[in-house]
Amino acid sequence: MLGKIIGRRYQVVQILGSSSYCQTYLARNLDRNQPAKCVIKHLLSTDKITDLSYRWQRLFSREIAALEKLQSYSQVPQLLDYFEEDRQFYLVQEYIVGQPLSQLMPPVRVKWSQQQVIELLYEILSILEIVHSQGLIHRDLKPNNLIRRASDGKLVLIDFGSVKQAWTQVVTSSGQTQANYAIGLPATIAVGTSGYMPSEQSHGRPRPNSDIYALGMIGIQALTGMQPTQLLEDAETGEMIWQHLVTIAPELTAILNKMVRYHFLERYQSTTEALNALAPLVDAPEKVHTAPVMLSVPKPADKIVGVVKLVRKRIASRLGTALGVTSAFALLLGSYYALRPTTNISPTMARSQIVEASHTTEPSTSPHTSMTRTLTGHTNAVWAVAIARDGHTLISGSGDKTIKFWDLSSGQLLRTLTGNSAEVLSLALSQDGQMLTSASYSAQPAVKVWDLSTQELQHTIGNVSKVWSVAISPDRQTLVSSNADASIKIWDLSTRMLRRTLIGHADTVWSVAISPDGKTLVSGSKDRTIKIWDLRTGALRRTLLGHTDRVRSVAISPDGQTLVSSSWDKTIGIWQLQTGQRLRTLTGHSDYINSVAISPDSQMIASGSDDRQIKLWQLNTGELLTTFSGHQGNVNSLSFTPNGKLIVSGSEDKTIKLWSLQGIN
């Protein structure tokens, strides 16, 4: 096989692994426009379809589907290609240059410190959160399947050949999209690695926290220096006995114990829950004191005796008996299994549970609620508007790559700032009114900081590119940027250094907002979710579900009580910031809603849409107060003036419009 060219452009240079049904190669890509090296998985076909060959075909197809779902995430290998040639099937993926975690920890290397293990757990939990957010369970998490990438030092999770779909999205008879959970379906074939595989997985019933169990065992291995299969089990409870082998902080012991509990109901139920438990140790390691740990193995709620060595095999009769190219891969995705919603995720609410604003008649535009001025000067869409704290200056960012300053009272153009290499998508003002930050969708460094007193560029932040949104903390110490690569970056404004990168979304993060007290960060994403983070620690507090299309904009009320979101599902969500509870859903726009803003007194919401309208709503009741019409293009951005008397809007029609709110109660 060495030297053979397959797929017309992949030359095999090394055999990495081999089994009865699958071979893995390192290959040279002869296409100069593609990465020079890649990894190829070769499913060996057979004329005879057996239960085992069918199982391999199904797992092979699941791996392709999983990698396709995770394409936007940098800590899993990128799927490059898959094809059929001479009745053989191939999957081509990114070659990760680095060292397997198994070569960096015991028994190959020395035992790890507790702080090293804390950081390891946090990084892998963050990866698993992405995987689980796509309804996937990895099922073979172990040191050999984690590579410390040489280029940036990040861990990359590889080998999705054992992945299982835990849930899928279905459309109900009422047209609502919801997660399809199926706890209790028949068991499947057990897949995994002994020692890292919990009881329910060995019985063919994996759950998301089966991956959490495997990670806990990796952490214990790093601390104790012992392989999981070398550890003893309590004969009565099945719990792992490891605490006497190492002296670490009680806080870390408690977390690891909960990760590896025998019964899945007694483990962390989600990666978010585990991350929240771990966050205090990540943020303040100096407060985690090492102390002797007494050997104490808690009893599970229910005793489960014995280990099943042979599990049932079930074949889905509706699947075909052979693989084709794309269509056959789709057919072989198999049955869907359950991911139980956790308490810190707000699931999509039933229509009867959502308070919807009902409008039999739409208020007409009165002389007191009219457009007062139109500003022209941009030569492309206006993507962002912001108003200085003094209420006199309006700032706009546009697809023409400029930032413009306007006199709000006269409409006069005061100054134009150039120097952006791409469209300006977001503007953020510091609370003291001295600093402006701008973000652009540029391949070059995209975040710029401007001194408002001089209207001059101060500096460029980091080397981050393709930024959709920026926000500044009230104390002016922290800048947040949201990115096309699904990450959120937290920057120290005084040093201009990156503090941390938040990973959790599965697609482009379109909007970020910081609470008035500077403690909470909210993000909205193309993946249809809203995430609430602890800005200080970076811990993910909760994920809000409910929108059925991408979340385009998020805003936090000035009183810090309410979160408002707008979506391309044509709805506005109103949420309690502290609990994540969805209070109501507003409907009325006939097209994508791109922007929401909240009035300075936290009483009103303004929304702008592709239907070219701006709607004004009562925040507490959801009542529609009025509708503004006048733009000839999509409404992209909105802002209230500090005195709450005007709304400013930016549009695809290249104009900015000012709307009076006098007379609105």
pLDDT in tens, 520-548: 999 999 988 999 999 998 888 888 988 98
Q: Which one is predicted more confidently, 463 or 518?
A: 518
User: What does the alpha-carbon distance between residue 179 and residue 62 come to, in Å, rounded to a whole number?
Assistant: 19
Q: Is the dihedral of CA 659, 662, 664, 665 positive or negative?
A: positive
Query: Which tens digit of pLDDT belongs to each residue from 353-362?
Result: 323 333 323 4
DSSP-assigned beta bridge partners for residue 43: 22, 89
Render 31-94 in DSSP notation, one character per residue.
-TTS-SEEEEEEEPP-SS--HHHHHHHHHHHHHHHHHHHTTT-TTSPPEEEEEEETTEEEEEEE
Point out the domain boundary residue: 42, 70, 94: 94
Count the Cβ atoms, other than its own, within 10 Å of residue 652: 19
User: What does the alpha-carbon distance between residue 480 and residue 565 come to, in Å, rounded to a whole number?
Assistant: 18
- Backbone φ and ψ for 534, nearest 5 degrees, come out as -85, 115
Count CA within 13 A, CB hemisphere, residue 521.
27
Task: Reply yes or no on whether 140 is catalytic.
Answer: yes
Cis peptide before 100 (omega within 30 of 0): no
Average pLDDT score over residue span 244-250: 93
Q: Judge whether residue 512 has pLDDT over 70.
A: yes
* 137 assigned to some structural domain: yes
Helix (H/G/I), strand (E/B), else coil: 99: strand
Average pLDDT score over residue span 542-571: 94
Query: Which tens digit of pLDDT belongs to each residue from 293-336?
Result: 333 333 333 322 232 222 222 222 222 323 333 223 332 222 22
Angle between helices 114-133 and 250-259 (to 10 degrees): 30
Point out the domain boundary residue: 76, 94, 112: 94
Structural domain for 22, as ranges: 5-94
Angle between helices 271-283 and 114-133 (to 10 degrees): 150
Count the Cβ atoms, other than its own, within 10 Å of residue 579: 12
CATH of residue 516: 2.130.10.10
What value does the CA radius of gyration of the chain take, rounded to a whole number of Å?
27
Q: Which one is predicted more confidently, 178 or 584?
A: 584
* 351 assigned to some structural domain: no
Is the same domain home to 182 and 302? yes
Measured at the alpha carbon of residue 349, what is the angle toward residues 348 and 352, in degrees to the nearest 5? 150
Is the same domain home to 309 and 445? no
Is the same domain home to 147 and 47? no
The predicted structure's pLDDT at residue 265: 93
Q: What average pLDDT is seen over the chain?
A: 80
Cβ–Cβ < 8 Å for 440, 428: no
Is the same domain home to 13 and 123? no
Count CA within 13 A, CB hemisphere, residue 414.
16
Give the percent of the chain with pLDDT over 90. 50
Count CA within 13 A, CB hemisphere, residue 186.
10
Is the same domain home to 113 and 20? no
Q: Which one is predicted more confidently, 93 or 370?
A: 93
Q: Which single residue is written with the structure tokens 């899928």?
A: 168
The predicted structure's pLDDT at residue 301: 34
Length of the chain: 665
- Backbone φ and ψ for 68, nearest 5 degrees, come out as -65, -40
Query: Which tens digit of pLDDT belongs to each residue from 393-452?
Result: 999 999 999 999 999 999 999 999 887 878 999 999 998 888 999 998 876 778 899 988
Is the same domain home to 226 and 336? yes
Helix (H/G/I), strand (E/B), else coil: 525: strand
* 486 assigned to some structural domain: yes
Average pLDDT score over residue span 616-621: 95
Q: Of 51, 81, 86, 140, which residue is the catalytic one? A: 140
* 354 assigned to some structural domain: no
The predicted structure's pLDDT at residue 648: 97
Burial status of residue 561 (CB atoms within 10 A of its CB: 0-12, 13-18, 19 or more): middle
Is the same domain home to 516 and 620? yes
With cut-offs at 50, 70 and 90, classify the pLDDT of residue 375. Answer: very high
Is the same domain home to 137 and 212? yes
The predicted structure's pLDDT at residue 474: 94
Residue 497 Rama label (left phi>0; alpha psi -120 to 50; beta): beta
Render 144-207 in DSSP notation, one character per residue.
GGEEEETTT--EEE---TT-EE--EEEE-TTS-EEEE--TTPPP----S-TTTS-HHHHTT---
Average pLDDT score over residue span 250-264: 96
Closest CA to 64 of 265, 324, 274: 324
Is the same domain home to 391 and 469? yes
User: What does the alpha-carbon distance between residue 213 and residue 577 come to, in Å, rounded to a whole number?
Assistant: 31
The predicted structure's pLDDT at residue 164: 66
Q: Which one is predicted more confidently, 348 or 562?
A: 562
Count CA within 13 A, CB hemisphere, residue 225.
11
Average pLDDT score over residue span 197-213: 91
* 420 assigned to some structural domain: yes
CATH of residue 128: 1.10.510.10
* 567 assigned to some structural domain: yes
* 179 assigned to some structural domain: yes
Cβ–Cβ < 8 Å for 344, 545: no
With cut-offs at 50, 70 and 90, classify the pLDDT of residue 463. Answer: low
Is the same domain home to 439 and 485? yes
Is the same domain home to 124 and 229? yes
Point out the domain boundary residue: 59, 75, 94: 94
Average pLDDT score over residue span 84-91: 84
Cα–Cα separations (whole angstroms), residue 589 to 400, 524, 616, 654 = 28, 19, 11, 21
Cα–Cα separations (whole angstroms), residue 463 to 440, 460, 467, 468, 655 = 13, 8, 11, 15, 31
The predicted structure's pLDDT at residue 350: 31
The predicted structure's pLDDT at residue 623: 95
pTM value > 0.75? no
Q: How many domains does the chain have?
A: 3
The predicted structure's pLDDT at residue 191: 74
* 355 assigned to some structural domain: no
Q: Judge whether residue 291 has pLDDT over 50.
A: no
- Backbone φ and ψ for 139, nearest 5 degrees, come out as 75, -5
Q: Judge whether residue 479 has pLDDT over 80.
A: yes
Is the same domain home to 41 and 11? yes
Count the Cβ atoms, other than its own, within 10 Å of residue 427: 24
Average pLDDT score over residue span 576-601: 94
Q: Judge whether residue 170 has pLDDT over 60.
A: no
The predicted structure's pLDDT at residue 344: 38
Query: Which tens digit of pLDDT belongs to each residue from 39-69?
Result: 999 987 655 445 555 566 666 777 788 888 8
